[in-house]
Each structure stands twice: as C-alpha cells, then as structure tokens.
Amino acid sequence: MPMTATARATGAAFPWAGLLALSMAAFITILTEALPAGLLPAIGQGLGVSEAGAGQLVTVYAIGSLVAAIPLTTLTQGLRRRPLLMTAIVGFLIANTVTALSTSYALTLLARFVAGVAAGLLWALAAGYAARMAPDHLKGRAIAVAMAGTPLALSLGVPAGTFLGAILGWRACFGLMSLLTLVLIVWVLAKVPDFAGAPAGRRRTLRSVLRLPGIRPVLGVVLSFVLAHNILYTYIAPFLAGAGMVERTDAVLLVFGLASLVSIWIVGVLIDSRLRALTLASIALFALAAGMFWLWRDAPPAIYAASAIWGLAFGGCATLFQTASAKAAGPAADLAQSMLVTMWNTAIAGGGLAGGLLLGRLGPESLAPSLLILIALAWGLSFAARDHGFPAGKP
C-alpha cells in the first residue's frame, strides 16, 4: 500500500527518493537558466540575431522569475502542492521543447519567459515542500538535499551542456533537457507525496509574512550576500584579466564549483544543529576570499585559493537562507520563499548593474573592496538576528 503524505512527513525514514526528485528539479531549473550563456554564438546564429540579442534569453528568464514568484505563490496558497509542483515542471518541458524546435526569436523569448515563470513558482515551493517531507529534526538536511541540484548544475551541468552543444548543437541540448524533464515527471508522480494547500482561514498576506520575526533580517542578508556574489561572479572574467588570468577563467570557476559541492555537503550534515554558526562562518569565509582577491589580485596561487574559499562560502548559502526563512515563517513557508526568490533575483540583476558601474568607472580593481562593504552588512544583519532569523541557542 502506498505510503501516505503524513507517514512520509512523520516517519523515521529519511525520504531520499522524493528529495532527490526535488534536487533533480533544481538541477533542471538552473541548467535551463544558465545554459544559454555558454551557447550564445550558436544560438544567435541559429535565431538570426546578435550575441547580445541571444543574451536576452537569459534576461527574460530572470524577469519571469522576478515578476511571477510572489503573485503566483500568493494566489495558489490553497491549491494542493503536488499538482502545483507538476505545473511548474511541465512549464519547463514546454519551454525547453519550444526552445529546441523554434526558429522564431520572438517565440523563443516567450518560451524563455514561461520557463522563468515556472522557475519562480518552483523555487517558491521547493524548500517548504522538502521541509514537509522530513521529520522535524531533519528539515534542514532535507532542504540541503533538495537544493543539491543547484551547485551540481553550476559546476557540472553547465560545462557539460556547453561541451555537448559544441558537438550536437544547441537545440539538442534543450531537447535533452526536455527528456530529463519527462523522467522527472514520472519520478515525482512515483515518489513525491502530495500535501494539502493552506485552508482559507490560514492563508497569509504578503504584509503579514513580512512582519513575522526573522523574515526581514533573512531577506536583508540574502540581498547583501547574493548581490556581493553576483558582482564578482558576473564580472569574474574582467577581474581575472587585470591579473593576466583571463584565459584561466574556466579553471577558476571549476575550483569555485568543486568547493561549492564540498560546502553543500558540510551544510547538509550540520545545518539542523548549527544554522547560525554555519551562516556566520559562510559570511566570514566570503569576506576572507574578497580580502584575498583585493590584496593579492596579481598572484595566481592566491586567486585559486580565494576561489576555493569563495566556493566554500557560497555553495551552501541557498540552503542556509531557505532553511532560516522556512523556520521563521512556519506554515507560511511557501510565501516567505517566494519573497526570498524575488530578493535573490533582484540581487542577480543588481549585481550586473552595480558591477558594470564599478567596472566602467573605477576599473576591475574596485570589485573586491566593494564586496567587503556588502559582506559586512550581511554579517551585521545575521549577527543581530540571534533571536529570530538566525537564532542562537542549543541544538
């Protein structure tokens, strides 16, 4: 007899199969978002547009996530969770299939926007869904497993997709993602339990969730930390050019990606008992990396070491922030996650803008010291949130 949702949520067994399905959903989401960046020349040629025009496939995806996460999550609070999750996954299937087959630039842009909307909904659901599947004392670990697909996609999936794109063509890459999504649909139906939506009397407004203790500090840390990360990540090539290492950009990012995998493993093991300590350690490591990038920006060994420290700081941060948000929001976790998704995407867009301004006016040497200001803000917010958000206390 199939295990019920209640049994899955309260049983002693850790729900690996269902959580790994969510992890695969995260993998497909990130791969769908980031893959065009490695295939811009081929995509531009295939659609008859410039590389800058092809780059807008990434932009409209981010816009879709940014504008959809909060409204969709608010409007769907009462719906059952698995059909809603399936809707987001089917959105990726449709969008990637259209992208693989379309010869129209306008239609491809529309498909990418739909994929972004699906991503906004999925990210809002994922952490709360994972938490509901696991026992109370393992909710943080459950979120870590569900989020593991993110660093895997960034460190392995995107480079592999770029390599396959050069061999098979960019359309085949999006077709392969559609096939992966079909596998995921079957997996979710077989292994991910369904949960009821919020009853009418328990649905929250955006304002009421924002007023919950701990939510605003978490959102503030997300904005400052992720903004600092994206200033560096977006402009890592010009930064490395200042050190004469632009041709080693792929190696630097590989070091960053591998360290990120180590980070998410450490966070997954310790998060349920050490959320505050891990958050403060992550921010401190990022500050150390930024300082090394600043002081030894001309020394390749120091840059590789700083990249590894940066990866250790960043790899598990999504899990830390989503866990903190879910614990602070309680039953309103999905709506709180939609706010986190919106803040995260705002930081991505802001990183491109702020980094571009710094690069144009002050040069690449200004990037690293600018990060330290934002990292100090993240540290102050997280350190002060010892009662709610990133609470201190015994495990």
Q: What is the pLDDT of residues 28-62, one digit of tens each?
A: 998 898 888 778 788 889 999 887 788 788 778 88
> What does the block give as tokens for 340?
């986190």
Whole-number percent of the chain with pLDDT over 70: 95
Give the whole-angstrom CA distance, residue 227 versus residue 348.
6
pLDDT in tens, 179-238: 999 999 999 999 999 998 777 667 777 788 888 989 999 999 999 999 999 888 878 778
Please name the residues in contact with 32: beta carbons below 8 A apart, sequence gap of 6 or more. 61, 92, 95, 96, 115, 119, 177
> What does the block give as tokens for 72?
């969709």
Decide if pLDDT at 372 tops 60. Answer: yes
Give the dihedral sign, CA 383/384/388/392: positive
Q: Can you give the pLDDT at residue 201?
A: 64
Walk me through the domains of the chain, giving residue ranges and CATH numbers. Answer: 5-202 (1.20.1250.20), 206-384 (1.20.1250.20)
Give me the count of residues in the chain: 395
pLDDT in tens, 331-370: 888 888 888 988 888 887 788 778 888 878 888 888 889 9
Give the dihedral sign, CA 214/218/219/220: positive
Is residue 236 a contact partner of residue 252, using CB atoms and an 8 Å limit? yes
CA 347 to centroid of chain Cα atoms: 12
Decide if pLDDT at 4 tops 50. Answer: no
Give the whole-angstrom CA distance, residue 89 versus residue 91.
5
Decide if pLDDT at 249 tops 80. Answer: no
Q: Can you give the pLDDT at residue 59?
A: 79
Is residue 383 a contact partner of residue 280, using CB atoms and an 8 Å limit? yes
Assign 12 a pLDDT band (cuts: 50, 70, 90).
low
> What does the block give as tokens for 129?
């869904």
Q: Mean pLDDT in the chain?
A: 86
Decide if pLDDT at 243 tops 80. Answer: no
Give the dihedral sign, CA 299/304/305/311: positive
Which parts of 13-169 are beta strand (E)?
none
Give the whole-angstrom CA distance, residue 293 versus residue 366.
11
Decide if pLDDT at 154 tops 90. Answer: no
Decide if pLDDT at 11 tops 50. Answer: no
> What does the block give as tokens for 200?
């009418």
Q: ∠ CA 53-54-58 to the nearest 5 degrees?
A: 110
Q: Can you give the pLDDT at residue 1?
A: 34
Please name the residues in contact with 324: beta carbons below 8 A apart, sequence gap of 6 or more. 214, 218, 275, 279, 389, 390
Please name the residues in contact with 370: beta carbons below 8 A apart, sequence gap of 6 or more. 231, 354, 358
* Ramachandran bin of 11, using left for φ above 0, alpha for ψ from -120 to 50, beta for the remaining angles: beta
Per the model's pLDDT, the better-predicted residue between 188 and 125 turns out to be: 188
- Residue where the block lists tokens 């994972």: 130
